[in-house]
Amino acid sequence: MPSYPHPIIAREGWPFLAISIAAALAAGVLAGWGWSVPLWIWTVFVLQFFRDPARPTPGTAKDVLSPADGRIVAIQTTHDTYLDREALKISVFMNVFNVHSNRSPVDGEVKGCWYHAGSFLNAALDKASLENERNALWVRTTDGQDITSVQVAGLVARRILCYVKEGDALKRGQRYGFIRFGSRVDVYLPPQSRARVTIGEKVSASATILAELP
């Protein structure tokens, strides 16, 4: 189990949670507690959206872990435009009820990080990988395999957060970023990698093995 610096609630959520609670309390005091009910419901939504539980990291160093909670929407051989290579692409779509912390799929060193501005199409669509706002992270494993993990904004998402930079070391399951309000993460692997998930399968960040490296 990796060390976990932000237990239960992601640090990104504390300002939203504080504002929601303050607004609900103010509405209850000033207008009556019945009027505050919608705001308390919103507070519960904020609480569940920013939950950030610790997770196990199964398998070995050759096992690629899911970087996000959600549902598998793509498993295909395609061109990795970030590293200019053929790759096995596995995409995880996150809805607003999933945990939105992003975690490293492998042990390795960050070799590059690229941000691209873009649109905010439905993240479940395949073209979102190329047209939406996104942040790509290139990680090279300890045995020389290259992995690209791409945070992609969605229809509602307006904020991609990435906390690592070139030269940083990452451990499997280590938290490296966050996407607010619905999105996807695309993982590009060496083409000889073997997928361990299927289309439509629900996965959990760190706890689900996406693929096995060659």
Closest CA to 211 of 90, 77, 94: 90
Residue 5 lies in a domain: no
pLDDT bucket at 3, cuts 50 / 70 / 90? very low
pLDDT at 34: 85
Residue 79 lies in a domain: yes
Q: What is the pLDDT of residues 47-66, one digit of tens each?
A: 877 888 888 899 999 999 99
Task: Tell me phi and psi for residue 198, to 5 degrees.
Answer: -130, 160
Read off the pTM.
0.81
pLDDT bucket at 1, cuts 50 / 70 / 90? very low
Reply yes or no on whether 183 is catalytic.
yes
Both 86 and 175 in one domain: the answer is yes
Residue 55 lies in a domain: no
Residue 175 lies in a domain: yes
> Does the pLDDT of residue 33 top 80, yes or no?
yes
Question: If DSSP codes are grouped into helix, strand and coil, which group holds residue 196?
Answer: coil
β-pairing, 183-189 vs 146-153, is: antiparallel
* CATH value at residue 156: 2.70.70.10
End-to-end, the C-alpha distance of the chain in Å comes to 24
Task: Please report where in the chains the tokens 């940083």 appear, as a residue.
Answer: 168
Question: If DSSP codes are grouped into helix, strand and coil, which group holds residue 119?
Answer: strand
Task: Tell me phi and psi for residue 39, to 5 degrees.
Answer: -70, -35
Total tally of structural domains belonging to the chain: 2
Annotated catalytic residue within 183, 193, 204, 206: 183
Report percent pLDDT > 90 for the chain: 54
**Rg for the chain, CA atoms, rounded:** 18
Residue 104 lies in a domain: yes
Question: Range of 22's domain?
Answer: 11-49
Q: Cα(116)–Cα(71) distance, rounded to whole angstroms?
A: 24
Average pLDDT over all residues of the chain: 86
CA distances (Å), origin 84, targets 97, 173, 187, 190: 34, 26, 14, 12
β-pairing, 194-195 vs 209-212, is: antiparallel
Q: What is the pLDDT of residues 107-159, one digit of tens each?
A: 999 999 998 876 655 555 565 566 678 899 999 998 999 999 999 886 655 57
